[in-house]
Structure 1
Amino acid sequence: MGKRRRVAQRRSTRPAVIGSVIAAVVVGGGVGAYALYGGGAMADDTSATAAEARTKSVKTGPLSQAEVTGAATRFLTAWQAGRPAEAAAATTDATAARTLLSGYTKDAHLEHVTLTPGVRQGDKVPFTVKATVHHGTVSKPLTYSSALTVVRNETDGKPLVKWASAVVHPDLKDGDRLVTGEAGTPPVKALDREGGELTTKKYPSLAPVLDGLREKYGEKAGGTAGVELRVVRGEAAKKAELSDKTLLELSEGTPGTVKTTLSPALQAEAERQVAARKRASVVLLRPSTGEILAVANSSPGFNTAFQGSLAPGSTMKVITSSMLFEKKLASADKAHPCPKFFTYGGWKFQNDDKFEIKGGTFKASFARSCNTAFISQAPKLKDADLTQQAQQVFGLGMDNWAVGVPTFDGSVPVQSQAQMAASLIGQGGVRMNPLNMASVSATIQSGSFHQPYLVSPEVDGRTLATASRSLSAGTLAQVRDVMAYTAAYGTAAEAMAGVTGDVGAKTGSAEVDGQKKPNGWFTAYRGDLAAAGVVQAGGHGGSTAGPIVAALLKAAG
């Protein structure tokens, strides 16, 4: 019996220790817990039911120092000891906490974890994490700071750690995971058309493009993946457009090489041009082949130039004009109505500043960007006419471009009544980006659609998109005529001044709900070059996106 008592005594006095600070907190936390939950409430056998007694024992009000440090210690001690279920039970969401804490060792491969609390700040306790990340034959130390907050459980008054994934690591959002392993794909070394390396240091706006190249060609370019600890995003973070994040690189991968069509000189010029304006994007390509020579965004976090989905405004009139010419509903040099207003489908459409052109030609209406000249033809059109024109002639809206990186391929949905009429002038449901609109000008310049591409299809044998038909010689000549007239005498004239040779252009302004100024658009060609740009919330396209596009056309020589 004496021996058994001594064993029992040793067990009962053995502390859970993760450092002197935690050990001291355990003692204080234990005393506080006993006073609150073990012996602080006496049952009233004569006047209270069991339920009433439980209600009276629920503590409310501000947390004491002992409650905060006690709850923090229970959680940190169990986490450090590798007991995720016990640690999770000390939080407000045991299910979510257990899942993430279990993955801390199983998925993230974190070993020898040491958690050191800092000085309590009210209900908040900061702490430092030191651990070793181990995977295969490689390992590295990891140190970071985090914090937890203690709250009172509404049900029983018990102090618990308020659960959030950020408690485990500050870069985690709820639903995210920590994973250590081979980086998703091997790195790639991207080259320009002359063999020089493309880097974000040299070309900041290429960050999303380089990410896209790694995603597409990392495993095909001959590289090997490195090993890293990273945050793998959950659904909530993905909806917020957050990407996976590398926290620690254990070993570097070996990059493969992929060559692009980008021109180093023109890419540098594109970067300079968009840097001068907020929310500007531009694309320059070669009409005869579809090769993309430059792409830049002043906000490099998202590739609006390739993946944006914006109403293109009056630049859409290039496509609409080609359709009206084919259907004999307009002719470049013939009289065409341009009234102040035109009502269709219950909507009253008007021109900028409510102007009108009396006795003018369609060319004059195109050059001045008369909305009603196009809307007035809506009653003579079928709902699907514009959609078919965009798909069949310009290769848009088919979701089948194989550029080499992710792109949005434009959208011209079939619409009715007022929405169909609005689509004729690039509003309604029509959505484009600079890559799409540069391709539109390229199709007019070359006479047929050539799908734009950043990486030659010869690299991986992929099939480029095609259009089912081309414009007739007569229709093509008229579209080129009205675009050339606009570049020389219309709304694009100021921006295109000094751009010589075989040129054509179209401006656009797209209204956006809740935005004081419209998005400014501009698309143009010069010889075997075509470009388009947008400046969001910039105002009229001729004075915002126009100079950016014109500068690139000039720089190309």
Structure 2
Amino acid sequence: MGKGVKAAVIGSVFAVMVGGAGYGAFNIVSALNDDGGSGGSEVKSGPPSGDEVKETSEKFFAAWEEGASASAAEYTNNNAAARTLLDAYTGDAHITDIRITPGAARKTTVPFTVKAKVSYQGDSKPLTYKSSLTVVRGLTTGKALVDWKPSVIHPELRTAEDTLVTSQSATPPIEAVDRDGKVLTKDKYPSLGPILDALRAKYGEKAGGTPGVELFVRHNGDGSPDTPLLTLSEGEAGKLETTISASAQAAAETAVKKYAESSVVAVRPTTGEVLAVANNRKDGWNAAFEGAAPPGSTMKIVTSAMLIDNGVTSMNGPAPCPDDAVWQGQTFRNLKNMAPNEGATLTNSFMRSCNTAFIKLIDEKPLTDESLTTEAQTRFGLGRDNWKTGITSVDGSVPAESGPDRAANAIGQGKVTMNPLNMASVTATAITGDFRQPYLVSPKLDGRKLATAKGLPYATASQLKQMMRLTATQGTAAPVMRGLGGDIGAKTGSAEVDGVETSNSWFTGFRDDVAAAAMSENGGHGVDAAGPIVKAVLAAGG
């Protein structure tokens, strides 16, 4: 369950690079692999041939099956790291009777199936899983070598610090249940896997269970909870009640599968309970709770609240929308083909997501460099690093900025960062007027104190809710929200990513007493990817 972070725009990050030393580290480790130079003999170059791929992978598999860690490691481009993990495979993990069946090679990549047995203190269970390896050319000797990554040994090994261990569990297992008592399992709700592991690590003992014996991934590098892979002897599971709605969770998981690198969160605005959290990410990271990336125009909910609360304008007050706006030497423009409207109201500019309208208003008195930060912290509970959801989460960042970043922050670029959890909470606060910190497990279980904030004046919340309603029925969100019944509202957003042609897609909305927000990396406009995800979750209800 490694965490990831992919570098995103303007000083923000959304995921952490994971994996082993890999091909790029070959120069450092080549000497360990007897690849330090051939003394003048001709060195092969170019991709390994099919015969080389077959020969190298077969020799690696044969040594691995025999438990000959040193020999197997010699066929990789990171001898030391490979040997350490292969030693742990048969040692700390107690895996024996290894049989590896390769599949048909795809160029230089060989998929394979491992069948083995895990035995520990009289308990024994069969182990079966699939993985793959890639054969590369050694840079100096030209030898064909296995490109070393921990995931070669097991796909759940994602960082160089990860290892396999079989022993008594560090914490008892849990039987997590949804708000209605339905059991939540990794098999039925795969996106909950890392979250269930985190809940077990934190609440396993409090839930009253007893530990069993398991094969698991121990994450030594980042403090992540162990990832169970195989249970040899059952412990007694303690029951853990969560706020999840099984129906909303199922809808969320189905929705994010349609869009790569996507995350979504749904909350109940009147309570703060998290109804669903789902991620579709290659790195397996809970970006829905832990991400930090510019939220694009969804941030205009908070900016609009700032403008209204400070008396700058109101939903029916002026917010002219010119073609461009200059702030301290930087020119800001609207989306292509947006017609200017010098007589626009705040509602009209919000509905159409006009950037220049918000840029033109942020220097009005009494606004200062700190005004947006103050609004976010004191009204919406953001950016104080004090949310206690039950698992690791990030509560956004809205730093006070001068210069061009002050303007960029107002439209969700600059140095503002959020995640779907934060934006679902923003919508919940906007439509109720009350900030209720989102949570996944009741604070009554462990006595933790939830974060608090002032919330919004009734008049401000009423205006924001109506502006979001109109955006969902007549504005940029209408194409997505069409067909949903009940009281609905939304805000679209897209965030430009430095060096990437396609923007990140953001969308947040509400339907009755459910608020949801989604983000899809490189998903385009809000209605292109994040919007359909949110609609699917809202349609499922809570």
- The answer to whether TM tops 0.5 is yes
Tell me the amino acid that sits aligned with residue 286 of structure 1.
R
Shift of 1:460: 2.5
Q: Secondary structure of the equivalent of 1:202?
A: coil
Shift of 1:207: 2.1
- 1:251 matched to 2:237: no
Aligned residues between the structures: 473
Residue 428 of structure 1 is matched in structure 2 by 414
Report if the CA contact (8 A) 1:323-1:389 is conserved.
yes
Tell me the amino acid that sits aligned with residue 466 of structure 2.
D
Tell me the amino acid that sits aligned with residue 463 of structure 1.
K
Mapped partners of 1:92, 1:273: distance in 2: 40
Tell me the amino acid that sits aligned with residue 352 of structure 1.
L
**Equivalent residue runs for 1:286-305 within 5 Å:** 286-299=268-281, 301-305=284-288
Aligned partner (choices 322, 341, 344) of residue 360 of structure 1: 344
- 1:310 matched to 2:293: yes
Residue 424 of structure 2 is matched in structure 1 by 438
Report if the CA contact (8 A) 2:420-2:517 is conserved.
yes
Mapped partners of 1:168, 1:495: distance in 2: 42
Q: Secondary structure of the equivalent of 1:471?
A: coil
Shift of 1:146: 12
Aligned partner (choices 323, 330, 337) of residue 306 of structure 2: 323
- 1:522 matched to 2:504: no
Alpha carbons of structure 1 residues 495 and 108: separation in structure 2 relative to 1, 3 Å: closer
- 1:227 matched to 2:213: yes
Aligned partner (choices 510, 520, 526) of residue 535 of structure 1: 520
Shift of 1:402: 1.7
**Equivalent residue runs for 1:76-91 within 5 Å:** none
Residue 473 of structure 2 is matched in structure 1 by 488
Mapped partners of 2:250, 2:150: distance in 1: 40
Alpha carbons of structure 1 residues 280 and 103: separation in structure 2 relative to 1, 3 Å: closer
Larger Rg: 1
Alpha carbons of structure 1 residues 213 and 81: separation in structure 2 relative to 1, 3 Å: closer
Mapped partners of 1:334, 1:538: distance in 2: 33
Shift of 1:441: 1.0
The Cα RMSD (Å) is 4.7
Deviations 1:164-184, CA, capped at 9 Å, x for gaps:
797996777755545332233
Report if the CA contact (8 A) 2:351-2:468 is conserved.
yes
Q: Secondary structure of the equivalent of 1:379?
A: coil
Tell me the amino acid that sits aligned with residue 519 of structure 1.
N
- 1:388 matched to 2:374: yes
- Is there any run of 5+ residues in structure 2 with no aligned partner, and where? 1-38, 44-58, 100-113
Alpha carbons of structure 1 residues 520 and 88: separation in structure 2 relative to 1, 3 Å: closer
Shift of 1:442: 0.6
TM-score when normalising by structure 2: 0.72
Report if the CA contact (8 A) 2:85-2:150 is conserved.
no
Tell me the amino acid that sits aligned with residue 362 of structure 2.
A
**Equivalent residue runs for 1:447-458 within 5 Å:** 447-458=433-444
Aligned partner (choices 336, 339, 354) of residue 370 of structure 1: 354
| More helix, by proportion | 1
Mapped partners of 1:101, 1:367: distance in 2: 58
Shift of 1:464: 1.3
Among the aligned pairs, what percent are the same residue? 50
Alpha carbons of structure 1 residues 479 and 219: separation in structure 2 relative to 1, 3 Å: same
Shift of 1:416: 2.2
Q: Secondary structure of the equivalent of 2:363?
A: helix
Residue 126 of structure 1 is matched in structure 2 by none
TM-score when normalising by structure 1: 0.70
Mapped partners of 1:105, 1:270: distance in 2: 39
Residue 118 of structure 1 is matched in structure 2 by none
- 1:181 matched to 2:167: yes
Deviations 1:145-191, CA, capped at 9 Å, x for gaps:
999x9x99x9xx9xxx9997979967777555453322332221111
Displaced runs of 4 or more, over 4 A: 58-62, 79-82, 86-89, 91-111, 129-147, 161-178, 243-249
- Is there any run of 5+ residues in structure 1 with no aligned partner, and where? 1-57, 63-71, 116-128
Deviations 1:264-312, CA, capped at 9 Å, x for gaps:
2232333333334334432222111111222333448333322222211
Residue 332 of structure 1 is matched in structure 2 by 315
Tell me the amino acid that sits aligned with residue 286 of structure 2.
N
